[in-house]
Structure 1
Amino acid sequence: MFKLQELENLKQNLTIEEVLELLYTLVVLKKLSAIPHTRINLFNEKSIRFEDLKSQLKEVKNIYDVTEILDGLEKIENVKDDLFIELFNISQNVEIPSIYEAFEYREGLHTSVVSKQIVELSIKLLDEENESPIYVPFKDGLKVSELTTRKVCCEYDDSKKSFVASLLRLWDNKKIDFRLTDSLEKPKFSQENSLEKFDSVIAFPPLSLMKQFDTMGDKFNRFKIHKNVKRLDVAHFEHVISQTKNKAVILMPVGFTFRSGIEEEFRKYLIENNILETMIQLPPNMYSATSIETTLFIINKNKNNKNIQFINLKDEKFLTKIGRKTVLKDINEIVKIYLEKKVESHSRIISYEVIKNNNFNFSIDRYITKNESIPSSFKWIKLENVSIIRKSQTLKDVDDGENVVELSPSDFSFAGYTISGKKIKKININEKQFETYKLKPYDILVSAKGVVGKIGIVGENINYLLASQAIQVIRLEKDNDIKSEAICLYMYLKSDIGQKALMKIVQGTAMPQISTKELKNFNIPKLSVLEKSNVINTFNKEIEKYDEIAKLQNDILKIHANYLK
């Protein structure tokens, strides 16, 4: 099998894209020449040049649709005879990769590429018995055509894809209706002021693309939510919905599932209009050239209930290794879970009310958690009902200020109270801002940015303390026995149960964080007097154990310092 990388050594003054176009045009014509009466005699010649190839294409224009191929070749300049002869010989005598593989190789040199497994899964999630065309806007329509016998109607603003589509129609009789356009700016599957509707849509839009896009002049009235923002995820999604008659599968970045602002408003729109059927969290590294995490949204405009299915494919059940690469083990099993709406450790059916109570946050960890072990006897209250929650702010240093310690999560004591830290700032303690943000005894500290989930509790007899911007501060409001309540909250947040619950409200992957809004809605257990007493005893025992560990560590340091004695 010929290796496409070898073309890098042959291309001379041409680009790799141009070399691929020349080679695969020759390959396709070679196949057609075997058909009787095709009038393709190029391969009967002893000597051949690039101009001969173009002349041959012009001769058969009335027989085959080669206009895009000819237009593409006309743009290639300075093709040297020795290079062309080399490519001609390869097309004649060497087994080479398919057209799909070749142009995916070309694309992979410049950008991240949707894996073939994502494409296959997306196709199978549509109604398999439906033989109607699949609409694929934005990109990757040709990749969809590789894995289906259905007609593919695709839009792309890359003329090179029009070239490849023409090759595929000639080579494999693929049913591809390719429209050269930007799907957002000027969709071409339309008539006057109305868009064509498709039973089946698959979309892999460019993820988190930042670009100015004016929706005001849209004659198709596609955009209900997207207004005057540069991130185009919502606009891409709304375009897909506008051309969907029945079902659509759309790939989105995982951040789309939990980001606030316009994305939260759009998630609410999906739920309240009851068109979101299923969310499938994909494992990382399903793209080449990037480890970005993605999610498949399945839109169904003919749902018969208001529930949403969540499937977590990050579960090891679905994954296997091929060399160093992680891949999906069994796509058919995933499709079966989707169709049968199975409820298992990796799959849940969630009601409208639950999602609404979660502020329309679709983060998979809110709804699917491994080894859930929350006691059924617990009664729950919202944290905002018993506390003030505030994200700390940075205060400016001043030359004549007082020494103030700014705590970071690394300063939190492993057990017991946190009373000091390493960073000293000069702060005007008479300013109102300092009074607002200074820490008080029994404040609970939650690391909420970067390294999330570390927990601290501020001790008594402290000097001036502030928290860094990476920390959310929880101050209990109860009039009596704040100390006991604070210890119980601290121990809950540190516990395995509390940590799992906190991880459910973490947002972001590159920079994880916990927002003030999420903490306000966070549920904590309401304990009985006996339960509180047990927790406080555990708190004191933990301090005792930690003191023992600290003493042992100190003894070890002494041994190291006196190894000759």
Structure 2
Amino acid sequence: MKKLIDCFDYMKRYHSDILDALSIMLELFLLKKQEPSIITDLIDKAHKRQPIKQIFKELLSQKSNIQVNLNVNILKILKVINTTDVTPETIESFLNIISQKKTTNKLYYYSTPKEVNHLLCLLLELKEDESLYNPCYGIGSIFLSIASIMSSKNIKLFGEELDLRFSAIAKLIAKLSDIDEANLIVNDILKRTAFKKDGEIIKFDKVICNPPLYAHMGIEQLKEDERFSKIGILVKNYPELVFLTHALSHLKTRGVFIVRNQTLLKQGLESKLREKLLKEKMIEAVIELPKNIFPHQGYDFSILVISYNNNLVKHIDASSFYVKDGKYNKLVDIDKIVSMFSSNANSEFSKVTELSKLYVDDLRASHHVHTTKLTKQTLLLKDLDLEIFRGQRVHDIVDSTHKIKYFDLGIADFAQFGFSDKFSNEKESSEIAKILKYSLRPYDLLLSLRGVMPKVTILSPNLEETLAIANAGIIILRFQNKEDALALYCYLFSKKGYVALSHIYENSAENIVSANDLLNLVLPKNFHNYASKMQDIEELKEEYLRLDAKVLKLKEEL
């Protein structure tokens, strides 16, 4: 494998686009698989000092539009390919290394770790002659997992992908996976679905999907689309839900979908989609995956298994099923996960719940598997009546005649302790509707979005007439009950509360605190008693300000 990786790295140096280097490697794998004698003949000619560059160029140009750089040492490349066992397993390992481990290649957005692919395929339980649909197949790494797992490759493969270059690579990988029937379309599913017959959307036996989270979701045109209008799930910040809704329109029996955990919480999953999945008994299982198994993704993920007529929902907490693998984690014990999925028995890491007893505001496996009578009695921040949202960037149209003045509130405006009531950065903007929508209110609790050392403040009750907007580096907690806001601020002011909050920040991905982690902050049993301490804090603040003024005056007199 090392020689193969070194060969790929060597090819990269001679091609400006990494996809060109990958395409050439895959074309040579396919050539070795289908016509190995051609490679040996070229090697023989090279050893006899006969020219092979033009033959090599014409050979590849017949198979692909990629133009190979003839400055490469062709003999060196051919020797590596000739000694490579081009089985799906070998190619899968090669692709996994260059896309998931060597992240500088920046191919991780378009593929999935092979261990996750294996799990997805096993959960699908693909059978002979079944049709499989993937609405975003990327470079097709999942096809190699199908070939590695299934004894027969006699399935009908269908898929859609936005990028023509990725599609060309995926088609090569499908051939290398011995999948004979592959209908891989280049299409933008946000505009239309490519698979319709006589005006009806085609259904497929199985669906598999790891959606691109970086995708730009221009969703306005989808509101009247037959795939989305009945469900009403149109959230540009949650691409996986758009792909999931699209895929449901094609689903015949079972689908597996990778989703961020935040979409399984009350704050993330749109109510209409949640209602559809539960009302129609479509959630078969939720499998929580380990942290940090997808390169450069700061989220936590789960696998959502969708099928029909499920009166029971299986939850599997596989978050601890990993080993450290360089900078990232690697999923392990796949057979154990599949065994728990196939069983209706409860275990240390799994639980089967009747649909009527499901805790619908938190569908994560970790919540259902590890919830006991004791933990149900534990008060979490999310149990309070609150709203959580981020600050906003406000822009201005220079030549606009209608503007409004407001304060742009940043962390520098946070009082050291006690109520914040003085802001320094006054601006004006024409985005009047946005300013009014996100304007801050008395008793709003503000927290820094980034950093290891959290910063917290609470807004003064005297700010009723002040128009202020928190900037994008701030998280706002807004409570229906001001006593809850006061209690939380005083708890976080305490040493115990500050340590608990700091722990959340220290473990946040990419130093950006997660709203979900904040909402799962465990509060003490006497939480509401903390509100009474606000008066003490304010009195201490007044004393501190008086002493600070005296110190400043003394400095000026000296």
Q: Which TM-score applies when normalising by structure 1?
A: 0.62
Residue equivalent to 2:396: none
Query: Which amino acid counterpart does residue 191 of structure 1 have in structure 2?
Result: K
Structure 2 equivalent of residue 337 of structure 1? 340
Match of 1:153 in 2: 157
1:197: how far off? 2.3
The one of 88, 99, 112 aligned to 1:114:
112
Note if 1:312 corresponds to 2:304. no
Taking a change above 3 Å as real, the CA distance of residues 229 and 245 of structure 1, as seen in their structure-2 partners, is same
Structure 1 residue 260, shift from structure 2 partner: 5.1
Partner of 1:199: 205
Q: Distance in 2 between matches of 1:438 and 1:241?
A: 39
Kindly provide the CA deviation profile for residues 243-282 of structure 1, in whole angstroms up to 9, marking residues without a partner as x: 2111100112333334758834322322222212222222
Residue 326 and residue 438 in structure 1: after superposition, are their counterparts in 2 closer, same or farther (change >3 A)?
Answer: closer
Would you say 1:99 and 2:95 are equivalent positions? no
For 2:292, the equivalent position in structure 1 comes to 285
**In 2, Cα distance between equivalents of 1:451 and 1:81:** 48
Q: Which amino acid aligns with 1:177?
A: A
Residue number in structure 1 paired with 2:432: none
Distance 1:130 1:191 in 2: 23
What is the alpha-carbon distance in structure 1 between the residues aligned to residue 195 and residue 122 of structure 2? 24
1:18 matched to 2:52? The reply is: no
Conserved in 1, the CA contact under 8 Å of 2:231 and 2:273?
Answer: yes
- The 8 Å contact of residues 114 and 288 in structure 1, kept in 2 or not, is answered as no
Deviations 1:213-236 (A, max 9, x none): 533785x74653357764543331
In structure 1, give the amino acid aligned to 2:123.
L
Q: The residue matched to 2:262 in structure 1 has which SS?
A: helix
Distance 2:466 2:354 in 1: 44
Trace 1:402-441 onto structure 2 (pairs within 5 A). 418=418
Within 5 A, what are the aligned runs for 1:75-474? 75-77=65-67, 79-80=69-70, 83-92=73-82, 98-103=90-95, 109-111=105-107, 112=109, 113-127=111-125, 132-139=130-137, 140=140, 141-149=142-150, 150=153, 151=155, 153-157=157-161, 158-163=164-169, 165-166=171-172, 169=175, 173-182=178-187, 184=189, 185=191, 187-207=193-213, 209-212=215-218, 214-215=221-222, 221=227, 224-225=230-231, 230-231=236-237, 232-258=239-265, 263-303=270-310, 305=311, 307-314=312-319, 317-343=320-346, 346-349=349-352, 352=355, 358=361, 362=363, 367=368, 373=374, 418=418, 446=445, 450=449, 470-472=475-477, 474=479
Shift of 1:160: 5.0
Q: Distance in 1 between matches of 2:391 and 2:367?
A: 25
Q: How far apart are the structure 2 equivalents of 1:200 and 1:492? A: 50
SS in structure 2 at match of 1:147: helix
- Partner Cα distance (1:167, 1:391) in 2: 42
SS of the equivalent of 1:334 reads: helix
Answer whether contact 2:413 2:423 (CA < 8 A) is retained. no
Partner of 2:430: none
After superposition, where does 1:525-536 map in structure 2 within 5 Å? none
Question: Residue 121 of structure 1 aligns to which amino acid in structure 2?
Answer: L
Rounded Cα–Cα distance in structure 2 between residues aligned with 1:224 and 1:92: 54
- CA separation of 1:275 and 1:82: change in aligned 2, threshold 3 A: closer
Secondary structure (helix, strand or coil) at the match of 2:374 reads coil
The question of whether the paired residues in 2 share the 8 Å contact of 1:284 and 1:293 is answered with yes
Change (3 A) 1:124 1:168: closer
Identity of aligned residues (%): 17
- What is the Cα deviation at residue 41 of structure 1? 6.2
Does the C-alpha gap of structure 1 residues 409 and 268 become closer, same or farther in structure 2, counting only changes over 3 Å?
farther
Q: Take 1:468 and 1:187, find their aligned partners in 2: how far apart are those partners?
A: 41
What SS is found at the alignment partner of 2:3? coil
Distance 1:390 1:182 in 2: 35
Q: Where in structure 1 are there 5+ consecutive unaligned residues?
A: 58-68, 395-403, 427-432, 551-565
Matched, 1:2 2:9: no
Residues 410, 250 of structure 1: CA spacing in aligned structure 2 closer, same or farther, 3 A cutoff?
Answer: same
Q: Is the 8 A contact 2:43 2:79 kept in 1?
A: no
What is the letter of the counterpart of residue 84 of structure 1? I
Conserved in 1, the CA contact under 8 Å of 2:258 and 2:302?
A: yes
Residues 486-525 of structure 1 deviation map (CA, whole Å, 9 limit, x = unaligned): 998888999999x89xx9xxx999453489xx99xx9999
RMSD of aligned alpha carbons: 6.1
CA distance in 1: counterparts of 2:349 and 2:467, whole angstroms: 41
Per-residue displacement from partner, 1:382-413 (whole Å, max 9, x unpaired)?
866xx99999999xxxxxxxxx9x99799799
Residue aligning to 1:61? none
- Whether the aligned pair in 2 keeps the contact of 1:320 and 1:327 (CA below 8 Å) is yes
Deviation at 1:308, TM superposition (A): 3.5
Distance 1:238 1:31, change over 3 A: closer
Q: 1:330 offset after TM fit, Å?
A: 0.7
Segment of structure 1 superposing worse, 79-88 or 134-143:
79-88
For residues 349-371 of structure 1, what are the alpha-carbon distances to aligned partners after superposition, in whole Å with 9 as ceiling and x for unaligned? 4565666763xx54566546678
Gaps (5+ residues) in structure 2? Answer: 394-406, 427-434, 545-558
Cα distance in 2 between the residues matched to 1:313 and 1:362 = 14
Displacement of 1:147: 3.2
SS at match of 1:199: strand
Alpha-carbon separation, structure 2, partners of 1:205 and 1:79: 34
* Partner secondary structure for residue 171 of structure 2: helix
Q: For 1:209, what is the secondary structure of its paired residue?
A: coil
